Amino acid sequence: MCGQILCPQTLSGIDSPKPPRFDKAYSSGEIRQQLRQSATTPAIPKRSNQKRQGRFNRGLYRERNFVTRLINRLKQYRRIATCYKKYAINYQDKLMIAAIRLWL
Q: What is the mean pLDDT of each run of 10 residues along the chain (104 residues)?
A: 45 60 71 74 71 69 78 78 71 81 82
6 and 49 both lie in a single domain: yes
| Per-residue model confidence (pLDDT) at position 104 | 79
Reading phi first (left if > 0) and then psi (alpha if -120 to 50, else beta), residue 39 is in: left
3 and 46 both lie in a single domain: yes
Give the SS3 label for residue 43. Answer: strand
| Per-residue model confidence (pLDDT) at position 98 | 83
| Per-residue model confidence (pLDDT) at position 63 | 76
The domain total for the chain is: 2
| Per-residue model confidence (pLDDT) at position 3 | 42
CA–CA distance, 57 with 45 (Å, rounded to integer): 8
70 and 23 both lie in a single domain: no
pTM beyond 0.85: the answer is: no
Domain assignment of residue 5, given as a range: 1-56
CB-based contact 4:34 (threshold 8 Å): no
